[in-house]
Structure 1
Amino acid sequence: MSQSTSIPKKQLRVRDHGFDNYMEIEKKMRKVLKFQSLILFQYNQTLPISRLDNLAGRLGFKQFEAGAFILKFPHVFEVYEHPVQRVLYCRLTRKAINQIMQEKEALLAQIPDAVTRLRKLIMMSNEGRLRLEHVRIARYEFGLPDDFEYSVVLKYPQFFRLVDAIETRNKYIEVVDRDRKLTVCAIEKVREREYREKGMDAEDVRFKFLVNFPPGFKIGKYYRIAVWKWQRVPYWSPYEDISGYDLRSIEAQKRMEKRAVASIHELLSLTVEKKMTMERIAHFRMAMNLPNKLKGFLLQHQGIFYVSTRGNHGKLHTVFLREAYWKGELVEPNGLYLARRKLCELVLLSSRKANVDRGLVRYRRDIEEDEMEHFRRDCAEDGFEGGKEGKEGEREDDLSCDACSDFTDDDDDVDDIEKAENAQLNG
């Protein structure tokens, strides 16, 4: 293989700390989501602390580790004492419940977009159908509800058809009609925008992918030439039927390789957060003609994708679409993404801030009590001074605090007090 004609297949992975830091937060959020689901499935959505270790063992936590984990996120989990049983319980905070409701509303609001994404996803397959179980595993990434089989697939019979395969006993989702308007890839829209904004040569932009290498990636002279030649190689669209082509030639293999890049690019573009685990991408490998050695293939194109190994002790690989992110945030965020990031904000808030919030509640209550006490004291002092202006033989008990307390009740009581004072002064 000449260095000037193709991209080297063996590439060292260069870390991008922006995406790795993103995954460090994502790792905490996955554990928090597991605890949330555990609490929401309990009776009255509360969990006794005594049962916490036994139930959290199913989530992979060791003994006494679950309690310490909950105390790290006081903005999400709240530990309180039952007023009757005098037993410690755990429940979700008001902020966490509001975030869950906001995410549910955003999920229901984008159901029409999820239907379009599912149609495009099925149209990318070779046979126009995908296994129901594979879509179910990746439903979170594509913004599909948990009951999407009924609320999406069976609800829209004009778009989808649910069939049973007799030979494999698996359920498949088939697309009813292939709409030509949905066969436009996301990269094609990006190319059009680049062509209009930058005025580049049409021949160079026609089959180009946006390449943004991570910091520290070494780009030599021959590698740069190889990338330039690879960018000009034509390829078949992921939505195009290639069953009638002869794929044995070298030119066809180059086109298929670039088509695999376009397929993964389009697959990530259909997700809500423009990222997906490599293990879930592998479920669509046979249906979309993706390479067998998927990790090596993705590392060969580090300027387009980024593979992060953070999370689950390096056993989990998350693939990001580099062009969709800027400084750790989505360039074009959507409502569901913003609702999910609210949980991230609650996770990142420190426990000191939670203590400050609780202190502010007590502080406001103390302020109200101090104001009432100060008001009573002022009333008492004003009444005492008014008594001194009378005759010397007047007793202090005649204008005691009882009169001041009556002063705040009604206007009739005020008139009675004034009449009594005038009577005493006129003696």
Structure 2
Amino acid sequence: MFSTPNSLISYLRGIKSHCPCFLSQEIIVQFRPISSLKVVWRKDYRLDEAIENDKRYKLCARVVKEVLNEPGQVIPLRYLEKRRERLRLNVSVKAFLGFNPGLFDTYYDRIKPKSEPVLFLRASDRLRGFLEEEKRIMMENEELIVSKLCKLLMMSKDKMLSVDKLVHVKRDFGFPNDFLVNLVPKYPEYFQIVGCPGEGKSFLQLVSRNPDFAKSVIERRAEDESISTGIRMRPNFDYKLPPGFILRKEMREWVRDWLELDYISPYEDVSHLAQSSPEMEKRTVGVFHELLSLSLFKRIPVPILGKFGGEYRFSNAFSSVFTRHSGIFYLSLKGGIETAMLREAYEGGQLIDCDPLLEIKNKFVELLEQGWRERAEQRRQQANELRKDMEFMCARAVHLKG
């Protein structure tokens, strides 16, 4: 019907002049660079719920980390109180301790030899038991951690990443706190640190490439399906829009054609590809898919991903990828922070396949829940005692009155 893209554009513009609402509601499609293809963001309550469910756990983890990072792993309560805003703690530290018993012990000590004693916090025996469990889980999964670190380096443009940036994302991928000091030196065949440590100019560099690490989740999935079915499966994205989400015809056709492009592994050299090409879009989506797959929760805050724009060759408008490919990703705005999530990793609000390192989170949640149960039981006992006191007072008043 349309001999050229320009004739189709003219046709669409003609419709828009008679119907102003056309192309203004959900999707704007033009035969221009990929960045002009837009899909209106739509809330997914189930995936937002997955973030909300972890809110209390992450708050407790931040406070624990703050205390453990202090010299001697102790801190005056009043010092921690001053850091409430940075920790995003919306209650006093004393109230937090009351809500989450079992995390810390409190004791009095002097900040200076001649100063008055003040209240200090230190890790409880229960928390220290969890920290030993954390070490055990880390040791059992050391090969997984090494492979993740190698993969992050292999996807980068120069096969190296800033040490400071890696430290910033260690929790997202499940790296131990001391991975640069104790893990990296154990594997000189893979890693070396270059630059000037302590000046923000040190980098972790890949020494050698392990072919076993150079396969993405999507490629491994295609291989597994090929083996199980006996039919050679082509690597590609699992594209599934959420219920009720409908793309306009033009966008559906663009997505169909884009999915027909050959899959480009995030571990391939793409220096020959133009930044605005559909092929580069395919590779960029592949990198985001792999990064989210490697992360613990299959989700990463967008500002953290943005820190690696240069290393992974992301465009300045990279975050539009997550809404443009709504059948692959979800962009959550929960908590006022944009978070990129991998749709296929979730069933409703629950992770389908859990990273082995998530056992650490589960152990920590068990510790918290034990404290919460004890607090609930204590409150029940206090309520019962109050009720008995009130009954006694009422009975006594009746007796005296009689």
Structure 2 length as normaliser, TM-score? 0.73
Change (3 A) 1:199 1:13: farther
Change (3 A) 1:325 1:349: farther
Q: How does 1:196-275 map to 2 (within 5 A)?
A: 206-243=234-271, 245=272, 247=274, 253-275=277-299
Q: Output the CA distance in 2 between the equivalents of 1:161 and 1:133.
A: 15
2:108 is equivalent to residue 108 of structure 1? no
Alpha-carbon displacement from aligned partner over 1:149-205 (angstroms, at most 9, x marks no partner): 221222211111221179x971122111122232111111122344555788x5xx5
Q: Output the CA distance in 2 between the equivalents of 1:121 and 1:266.
A: 9
Shift of 1:221: 4.0
Task: Select which of 221, 239, 262 maps to 1:190.
Answer: 221
Partners of 1:7 and 1:230 within 8 A in 2: no
Name the structure 1 match of 2:26: none
Q: Output the CA distance in 2 between the equivalents of 1:70 and 1:330.
A: 30
Q: Output the CA distance in 2 between the equivalents of 1:94 and 1:165.
A: 39
Change (3 A) 1:220 1:77: farther
Q: Output the CA distance in 1 between the equivalents of 2:228 and 2:145.
A: 30
Give, as a single letter, the amino acid of the residue that structure 1 aligns with 2:274. L
What is the total number of aligned residue pairs between the two structures? 347
Shift of 1:259: 0.4
Q: Output the CA distance in 1 between the equivalents of 2:307 and 2:256.
A: 31
Change (3 A) 1:289 1:86: closer
Partners of 2:67 and 2:122 within 8 A in 1: yes
Change (3 A) 1:90 1:227: same
Give, as a single letter, the amino acid of the residue that structure 2 aligns with 1:277. P
Task: Select which of 72, 75, 79 maps to 2:99.
Answer: 72
SS at match of 1:140: helix
Name the structure 2 match of 1:124: 155
Name the structure 2 match of 1:28: 56
Shift of 1:256: 0.7
2:328 is equivalent to residue 304 of structure 1? yes
Give, as a single letter, the amino acid of the residue that structure 1 aligns with 2:324. Q
Change (3 A) 1:357 1:177: same
Q: How does 1:365-380 map to 2 (within 5 A)?
A: none
- Which stretch of the first structure deviates more once superposed, 343-352 or 177-186? 343-352
Partners of 1:19 and 1:328 within 8 A in 2: yes
Change (3 A) 1:81 1:241: closer
Alpha-carbon displacement from aligned partner over 1:363-403 (angstroms, at most 9, x marks no partner): xxxxxxxxxxxxxxxxxxxxxxxxxxxxxxxxxxxxxxxxx
Q: Output the CA distance in 2 between the equivalents of 1:34 and 1:310.
A: 18
Q: Output the CA distance in 1 between the equivalents of 2:318 and 2:225.
A: 29
Q: Output the CA distance in 1 between the equivalents of 2:71 and 2:208.
A: 45
Shift of 1:147: 2.1
Alpha-carbon displacement from aligned partner over 1:316-356 (angstroms, at most 9, x marks no partner): 22222222222333322233202213334555679565332
- Which stretch of the first structure deviates more once superposed, 6-15 or 207-216? 6-15
Shift of 1:124: 0.9
Shift of 1:261: 0.4
Alpha-carbon displacement from aligned partner over 1:67-114 (angstroms, at most 9, x marks no partner): 3333233354577999xx999776656554443332232123212221
Give, as a single letter, the amino acid of the residue that structure 1 aligns with 2:326. Q
SS at match of 1:206: coil
Give, as a single letter, the amino acid of the residue that structure 1 aligns with 2:169. A
Partners of 1:274 and 1:320 within 8 A in 2: yes
- Which stretch of the first structure deviates more once superposed, 121-130 or 348-357? 348-357
Task: Select which of 365, 375, 395 maps to 1:354.
Answer: 375
Give, as a single letter, the amino acid of the residue that structure 1 aligns with 2:92. E
Structure showing greater Rg:
1
Q: Output the CA distance in 2 between the equivalents of 1:276 and 1:36.
A: 21
Q: Output the CA distance in 1 between the equivalents of 2:189 and 2:370.
A: 46
Change (3 A) 1:198 1:310: farther
Give, as a single letter, the amino acid of the residue that structure 2 aligns with 1:19. L
Shift of 1:210: 0.5
Shift of 1:258: 0.5
Q: Output the CA distance in 1 between the equivalents of 2:144 and 2:260.
A: 33
Task: Select which of 326, 336, 340 maps to 1:319.
Answer: 340
Change (3 A) 1:126 1:47: closer
Q: Output the CA distance in 2 between the equivalents of 1:157 and 1:263.
A: 26
Q: Output the CA distance in 2 between the equivalents of 1:225 and 1:72.
A: 53
Give, as a single letter, the amino acid of the residue that structure 2 aligns with 1:260. T
Shift of 1:262: 0.5
SS at match of 1:154: helix
CA-based RMSD of the aligned residues comes to 3.8
SS at match of 2:321: helix
Partners of 2:99 and 2:375 within 8 A in 1: no
Change (3 A) 1:247 1:27: same
Change (3 A) 1:232 1:14: same
Q: What's the % identity of the aligned pairs?
A: 29
Structure 2: 5+ residue runs without aligned partners? 9-28, 110-115, 382-402
